[in-house]
Amino acid sequence: MIKSDKKIFENYKFIDLFSGIGGFHLALNSLGAKCIFASEWDKYASETYQENFEIKPSGDITQIKETEIPAHDILCAGFPCQAFSISGKQKGFEDTRGTLFFDIARIANYHKPKVLFLENVKNLVKHDKGNTFRTILYTLEELGYNVFAKVLNSGHFGLPQNRERVYIVAFHKTIKAGSFSFPTPINRPVCLEQILENSPNDAKIIRRNDIEIYKNYSASGSLFSETELPNKPIQIGKVNKGGQGERIYHPLGHAITLSAYGGGVGSKTGLYLIDGKIRKLSPRECARVQGFPDDFIINSSITQAYKQFGNSVSVNVLQYISLEIAKVLQENKITDKIELELKYA
């Protein structure tokens, strides 16, 4: 998580839909924005959110009327992806009915916030031959938004995790957004080793007789210098046949994508050779590779903690995008002030 004293979103209010454990909340609040409403149907994620932010998320958003949601400047949502039964028919808003994206659309249609800030899996872009994604973009445009979308990798923004996600930023047509661009990857050398705990007792150690470490890996010495870190996972071995969750990685590389449901002996976190032992990541290490600060309260259930961080958004990436959003809003503030002064001159 980026530490910032700049409260560039001060006086801005946001809502946090499909809030999970609060990745969007951390990112926007760190820049001064205030959360005035959150919604999350999973009771365990909701408990974690409330424990950290002292806000109890409302439940199932499909059961909450848009009139019951307070007015806001920014709508945030890491929404689940669902197939659209009639996607690609260019019926826009109607195409999304029956999906969770429809709830974003109906709330945006009613409140018309300045910005929509959305996140989803990379595969959304190609789902149903691109029809689903086109329907989402078309719907937002139909609702009066100028839409920007891009796939970004968390590993390019200071986090040691290979995690590609599509981010959508939409500005209401009353906002002049031509200057907006997604942040340029910083590609700062970073590796998993830098965020590891010292022998955590909640990281499962794997002891099996079918572990293979590849011959070209040397256990002694460093594979890379600090400035040569590859900023990607480095596979150095396998368990069993090396299928999903059975690959072993080096801590001088990045973690693989955290998953809420992945299978295999290294399910959800992947396997790593650390201090001579093959182990999974601990919940705190999972928090760190997602950009959550160390004072973030983790769910006491390891199973739930893994699921929650696997489902979460990468805080650092959201912060970098937020900085670019803020530039546009600030430019519009200045422009509005100039126009107002000219009007009354």
Catalytic residues: 81
Count of CB atoms within 10 A of residue 215's CB?
Answer: 7
Burial class (CB in 10 A: 0-12, 13-18, 19+), 36: middle
CA distance 86 to 53: 39
- Identity (one letter) of the amino acid at 178? G
Distance of CA 255 to the CA centre of its chain: 15
CA distance linking residue 28 with residue 322, whole number of Å: 7
**Beta strands per DSSP E along 189-324:** 211-213, 235-239, 247-249, 271-274, 277-279
Q: What are the distances in angstroms from CA 192 to CA 158, 182, 196, 219?
A: 11, 25, 7, 17
d(CA 295, CA 52): 9
E-state strands within 219-320: 235-239, 247-249, 271-274, 277-279
How long a stretch of residues is the chain?
Answer: 345
C-alpha atoms less than 13 angstroms from C-alpha of 309 in its C-beta half-sphere? 29
CA distance 115 to 113: 6
Q: Find all residues with CB under 8 Å of 134, minimum gap 6, and list them.
A: 87, 88
34-39/74-77 β-pairing: unpaired
